[in-house]
Amino acid sequence: MPRRAWTPHEAALQLGVPYETVLRLIHKETLHAVTAGRYYLIPDSALESFLNPSARK
């Protein structure tokens, strides 16, 4: 079964950016994330949308 959500650490590794950058993108609402308790989860679709800006709507 494919992954549906990623932690900020995992997303940072996939994007090739520091963890702090992912958190900054989440706080600026540039990268969509949901909260699970006090933790962020980034849906796979949010990563795809972030990496393909022409598909954003």
Q: What is the pLDDT of residues 1-48, one digit of tens each?
A: 888 999 999 999 999 999 999 999 999 999 999 999 999 999 999 999
Distances (CA, A) of 56 to 8, 21, 37, 46, 47: 21, 20, 27, 10, 11
Domain count, the chain: 1
Q: What is the phi-psi region of residue 3: left when phi exceeds 0, alpha when psi lies from -120 to 50, beta otherwise? A: beta
pTM confidence score = 0.85
Give the model's pLDDT for residue 1.
81
Q: Which domain holds residue 36?
A: 5-55
